[in-house]
C-alpha cells in the first residue's frame, strides 16, 4: 500500500495548482491567438503584388481585396482595371465572373476597355467637340466621327497611384490620378480619386470623386464585362436582365443620342421585368440594328432615395445574381456586340461576340452638347461625387 507522506501531499497540491495555472494560461494564449486571427480576418488583409511593368519601367501593382465570405477582387493600377472577380454559385463554388487577362501585356496590346475605369468622359461626345462658357474644346475622334471613353489615352490607359486601406466596411484600394489641364483636350487640372471597397456581404462599392481648377466636364464609370456563368468564352444571351427604367435614349448611326426619351414599353428595350438578353436581341428593330444589339443608355427611374437599384442580371444555371445600385441618372447596357473572338479568354477559348455584358452607370452620352440632359459640368470649388455598388448573391 502506498504511504502518503506530508511532503508528497505538498508536492501533489503544488503540481495540481501548477497544472491549473498553466491550463488557464494555455487557454488564454489560444484565446488570444484566436483573437489575432479573427482581427486579421475581419480586417481582411489586402495582398499587394506587382502585376507587370510598363514599357517605361513603371511598375503596375495588383491589389487583391478579400472578404469573409471568400470573394476576391483583383484591381491593378493600370487603368484601375478589375482583372479578376470571384463569386460563389448556389453550391458555393467560386468562379471568375469578369472578362480580362492574366497578363499586363495583353491589356497593353489593346482591348475594348475590359474592367477599366473610364474618364474623363464615359461614353460618346458628338464630333469630339463641346463648348463651355463660349469656348469650344476639341477632343480626339477615336470612334468614327465621335469621341469615346476619354479619348486616345483615357483613364483606362494611365497608371494610377494605389494605396491599400482596411476600413470598417471592408478591404479597399484607393486609386488617385491627376489629369493635367488640357489632357486629351479637356479643360482644367482634374484630381480624381476612386475607391473600391469589398464588403463582407459580397458587394463592391465604388466611390468616385474629382475636383477641378477650371470649369470642365466629368462622367466617370466602370467598364467591367460580366459573364456570371464563369465560362468566360460563352455567350451571355441566357442571362436575365432587369433595368429600372421606363425610357431609354435612342441613338443615331454614330450611337449619339438623338435627344428623344423613348418609352421602353412594347419594344425590345423593355427590361422592366427580367428578360433573357437573347430573347429579342435579333428582333427587327432600327435601334437594335444601329447598336448591333443593345448598346444604349437607359434613363433610370428615380426611387425614394438617390442611391437605388438600377439593374440586375441573373444566370439561372449557376444561380448567380448581380445587382447594380447607383446615384447616377443613367445606365449603359452594352451586350458585348463588338467582341469578335480574337482575344483569348482567361478560361480558355476566346472572347466571342456577346460573351460579356456591361452595366455602366453614368450621366447620359453627349450631355455636354445636349441642354436637356442633366449637367456634367464641374466647377472649381465643387466635388464631383458618384457611387455605384455591384452586389453579388444567388437565387
Ligand atoms: C460602348 C460601346 C463600345 C464599348 C467599347 C461601350 O461602353 O457603349 O459602343 O463599343 O464600350 O468597347
Angle at 101 between CA 95 and CA 105, to 5 degrees: 160
d(CA 299, CA 394): 27
d(CA 379, CA 372): 19
List phi, psi (to 5°) of 241.
-105, 140
Is residue 42 situated within a structural domain?
no
Is residue 307 situated within a structural domain?
yes
Q: In terms of C-beta density within 10 A (0-12 exposed, 13-18 middle, 19 or more buried), how is residue 14 classed?
A: exposed
Residue numbers annotated as active site: 223, 360
Binding site for beta-D-galactose, by residue number, is 123-124, 223-225, 295
Instruction: Give the number of other Cβ atoms within 10 Å of residue 190's Cβ.
Output: 25
Instruction: Give the number of other Cβ atoms within 10 Å of residue 349's Cβ.
Output: 14
Is residue 2 situated within a structural domain?
no
Domain total of the chain: 1
Measured in angstroms, how far is the CA atom of residue 150 from the centroid of ligand 1?
Answer: 12
Helix (H, G, I), strand (E, B) or coil at 42: helix
User: Going residue by residue through the chain (395 aa), what tens digit of pLDDT does each one get?
Assistant: 344 445 555 555 555 554 444 444 444 444 444 333 333 445 668 999 999 999 999 999 999 999 999 999 999 999 999 999 999 999 999 999 999 999 999 999 999 999 999 999 999 999 999 999 999 999 999 999 999 999 999 999 999 999 999 999 999 999 999 999 999 999 999 999 999 999 999 999 999 999 999 999 999 999 999 999 999 999 999 999 999 999 999 999 999 999 999 999 999 999 999 999 999 999 999 999 999 999 999 999 997 779 999 999 999 999 999 999 999 999 999 999 999 999 999 999 999 999 999 999 999 999 999 999 999 999 999 999 999 999 999 99
Is residue 6 situated within a structural domain?
no
Is residue 272 situated within a structural domain?
yes
| DSSP result, 135-151 | EEEE----BTTBEETTS
Work out whether the CA dihedral 219, 152, 293, 347 comes out positive or negative: negative
Is residue 25 situated within a structural domain?
no
Q: Mention every residue, 6+ apart, whose C-beta is less than 8 A from residue 294.
A: 269, 277, 281, 288, 333, 334, 335, 337
Grid coordinates in use for 54? 510598363
Which of 113, 224, 253 gets mutated to test ligand 1 (max ligand atoms within 8 A of its CB)? 113
Measured in angstroms, how far is the CA atom of residue 358 from the centroid of ligand 1?
Answer: 9
Q: Looking at residue 379, which CATH number applies to its domain?
A: 2.70.98.10
User: What is the span of the domain harbouring residue 89?
Assistant: 48-389
Helix (H) or strand (E) holding 18: helix 6-43
Is residue 59 situated within a structural domain?
yes
Amino acid at each position: 500500500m502506498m504511504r502518503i507522506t506530508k511532503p508528497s501531499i505538498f508536492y501533489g497540491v503544488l503540481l495540481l495548482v501548477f497544472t491549473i495555472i498553466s491550463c488557464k494560461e494555455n487557454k488564454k494564449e489560444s484565446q488570444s491567438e484566436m483573437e489575432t486571427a479573427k482581427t486579421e480576418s475581419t480586417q481582411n488583409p489586402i495582398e499587394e503584388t506587382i502585376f507587370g511593368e510598363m514599357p517605361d519601367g513603371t511598375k503596375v501593382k495588383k491589389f487583391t481585396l478579400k472578404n469573409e465570405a471568400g470573394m476576391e477582387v483583383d484591381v491593378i493600377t493600370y487603368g484601375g482595371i478589375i482583372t479578376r472577380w470571384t463569386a460563389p454559385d448556389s453550391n458555393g463554388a467560386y468562379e471568375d465572373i469578369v472578362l480580362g487577362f492574366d497578363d499586363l501585356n495583353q491589356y497593353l496590346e489593346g482591348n475594348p476597355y475590359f474592367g477599366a475605369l473610364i474618364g474623363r468622359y464615359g461614353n460618346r461626345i458628338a464630333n469630339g467637340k463641346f463648348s463651355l462658357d463660349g469656348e469650344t474644346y476639341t477632343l480626339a475622334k477615336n470612334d468614327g466621327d465621335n469621341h469615346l471613353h476619354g479619348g486616345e489615352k483615357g483613364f483606362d490607359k494611365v497608371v494610377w497611384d494605389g494605396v491599400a486601406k482596411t476600413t470598417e466596411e471592408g478591404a479597399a484600394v484607393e486609386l488617385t490620378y491627376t489629369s493635367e489641364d488640357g489632357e486629351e483636350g479637356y479643360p482644367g487640372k482634374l484630381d480624381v480619386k476612386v475607391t473600391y471597397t469589398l464588403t463582407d456581404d459580397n458587394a463592391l462599392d465604388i466611390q468616385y470623386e474629382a475636383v477641378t481648377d477650371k470649369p470642365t466636364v466629368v462622367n466617370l464609370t466602370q467598364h467591367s464585362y460580366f459573364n456570371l456563368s464563369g465560362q468566360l468564352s460563352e455567350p451571355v444571351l441566357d442571362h436575365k436582365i432587369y433595368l429600372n427604367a421606363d425610357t431609354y435614349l435612342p441613338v443615331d448611326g454614330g450611337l449619339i443620342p438623338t435627344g428623344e426619351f423613348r418609352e421602353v414599353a412594347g419594344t425590345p428595350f423593355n427590361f422592366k421585368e427580367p428578360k433573357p438578353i437573347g430573347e429579342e436581341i435579333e428582333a427587327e428593330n432600327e435601334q437594335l440594328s444601329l447598336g448591333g444589339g443593345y448598346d444604349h443608355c437607359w434613363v433610370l427611374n428615380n426611387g425614394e432615395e438617390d442611391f437605388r437599384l438600377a439593374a440586375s442580371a441573373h444566370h439561372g444555371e449557376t444561380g448567380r445574381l448581380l445587382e447594380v445600385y447607383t446615384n447616377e441618372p443613367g445606365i449603359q447596357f452594352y451586350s458585348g456586340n463588338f467582341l469578335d473572338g480574337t482575344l483569348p479568354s482567361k478560361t480558355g477559348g476566346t472572347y466571342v461576340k456577346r460573351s460579356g455584358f456591361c452595366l455602366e452607370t453614368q450621366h447620359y452620352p453627349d450631355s455636354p452638347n445636349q441642354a436637356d440632359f442633366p449637367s456634367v459640368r464641374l466647377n472649381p470649388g465643387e466635388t464631383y461625387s458618384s457611387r455605384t455598388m455591384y452586389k453579388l448573391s444567388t437565387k
